[in-house]
Amino acid sequence: GTAPVLLRLSNVEVVYDKVFLAIKGVSLEIREGDMVALLGANGAGKSTTLKSVSGLLAPERGEVTRGHIEFAGRDLGTMPAPQRVHLGIAHVLEGRRVFGHLTPEENLIAAYRGRDQRRYLQLRDMVYGYFPRLVERAKSKAGYLSGGEQQMLAIGRALMTEPKLLMLDEPSLGLSPLFVKEIFGIIRTINEKERMSVLLVEQNAVAALNVVQHAYVVDQGRIVMEGSAALLRQNPDIQEFYLGGS
Ligand code: ATP
């Protein structure tokens, strides 16, 4: 497309424990309105790449980021994570983190950063519009929701921050194929209707390539392949070499 670049990683490296190079010069681009997947096997460096963007790496714990990350025309440098949320970067962590002892609505309230009651209600209703199952489960504590419903709530919490970029780490993990299809379809609709860019991290390449336009494949900390979803779907190497077969 010709939309402006929203996120650009140039030669990003992340070191853990001061010595272990988990990603080794990752470069990628996401344009406004794009829906892009980052695919790869367990341990390839997908989660680390997302953390470098959302700022969840801690130099004081020996987690060092090198290279450049630019978002909406700004160099993120060492900007703290909360400021990145404010700029419009939302990161839904692997394992659907929700407050299990709170109801879905209380979870959404807790995720809203602003002070405008009317805006809160608009955002909440947008979330309920995309995920009507959450309305049905409004009175249950989130801990009693199914895995798929908790994933929906985790995404809903991210939407409450009004992101320009929604980053999702393995939303399909542990869900039935039917639920994966439902959630991926909703994410695609959000991408189109809200013109929200999406970066989807997935081991489930087949499902991801059915919803994104473009994908990158990461292996041992490096981007080893990139292209349109249509092209990558036809590429036999993807399954065999980079995604742990099947
Ligand atoms: P997964 O799906 O398992 O999360 P991934 O592709 O997201 O896989 P990462 O979690 O980014 O991979 O991990 C990349 C490499 O960095 C792996 O070898 C992993 O063991 C290592 N690693 C991840 N987190 C840390 C950490 N906090 N300290 C040290 N090494 C880490």
Q: How many CB atoms lie within 10 A of CB 118?
A: 7
| pLDDT for res 246 | 43
Residue closest via CA to ligand 1's atom 22 equals: 22
Sheet holding 74-75, edge to edge: 20-31, 5-16, 64-71, 74-75
**231-240: long-range contacts (C-beta < 8 A, 24 or more apart)?**
232/205, 233/209, 238/39, 238/205, 239/205
pLDDT at 18: 82
**Mutate which of 12, 17, 23, 47 for ligand 1 pocket (most atoms within 8 A of beta carbon):** 47
- How many angstroms separate the CA atoms of 15 and 70, rounded? 19
| Closest CA to ligand 1's atom 31 | 16
The DSSP 8-state label assigned to residue 74 in this structure reads E
The pLDDT tens digits of the residues spanning 15-56 come to: 999 889 999 999 999 999 999 999 998 899 999 999 999 999
Pair 175, 182: CB distance under 8 Å: no
**What DSSP element (H or E) covers 149?**
helix 147-159
**Maximum Cα interatomic distance, the chain, rounded to a whole number of Å:** 51
Any atom of ligand 1 within 6 Å of the Cβ of 43:
yes
Mutate to test the pocket of ligand 1, among 38, 46, 172, 219 (most ligand atoms within 8 A of CB): 46
Rounded Cα–Cα distance for residues 89 and 50 (Å):
10
The total of other beta-carbon atoms located within 10 Å of residue 20's CB is: 11
Is residue 245 pLDDT above 90, yes or no?
A: no
Predicted TM-score (pTM) of this structure: 0.95
CB 12 within 8 A of CB 204: no
CA distance 90 to 167: 6
User: What does the pLDDT read at residue 107?
Assistant: 97
Residue recorded with tokens 């700004």: 74
Q: Say how far apart CA 206 and CA 200 lie, in whole Å.
A: 13
pLDDT at 198 over 80: yes
Per-residue pLDDT tens over the stretch 103-162 = 999 999 999 999 999 999 999 999 999 999 999 998 899 999 999 999 999 999 999 999
* Those residues with Cβ within 8 angstroms of residue 30's Cβ, 6 or more apart along the chain or in another chain: 5, 6, 7, 8, 36, 165, 197, 199
Q: What is the pLDDT of residue 243?
A: 60
Q: Residue 240: CB within 6 Å of ligand 1?
A: no
DSSP code of residue 75: E
